[in-house]
A and B are shown apart, each in its own frame.
Chain A
Amino acid sequence: DVKVTQSSRYLVKRTGEKVFLECVQDMDHENMFWYRQDPGLGLRLIYFSYDVKMKEKGDIPEGYSVSREKKERFSLILESASTNQTSMYLCASSSVNRGWNSPLHFGNGTRLTVT
Chain B
Amino acid sequence: ILNVEQSPQSLHVQEGDSTNFTCSFPSSNFYALHWYRWETAKSPEALFVMTLNGDEKKKGRISATLNTKEGYSYLYIKGSQPEDSATYLCAFMRVWNSGGYQKVTFGTGTKLQVIP
Q: Which residues of A contact B (CB under 8 A)?
A: 4, 31, 33, 35, 40-45, 48, 50, 56, 58-59, 90, 94, 96, 100-109
Contacts and interface: CB of A to CB of B under 8 A. Distances in A.
A42 B96 contact: no
B49 interface: yes
Chain B's interface size range is 20 to 34
Interface of B: 1, 31-32, 34, 36, 42-46, 49, 51, 89, 91, 93, 95-97, 99-109
Contacts of B96: 56
Contacts, number: 70
Contacts of A90: 43-44
Contact of B101 (A31, A59, A107): A31
A42 B32 CA distance: 19
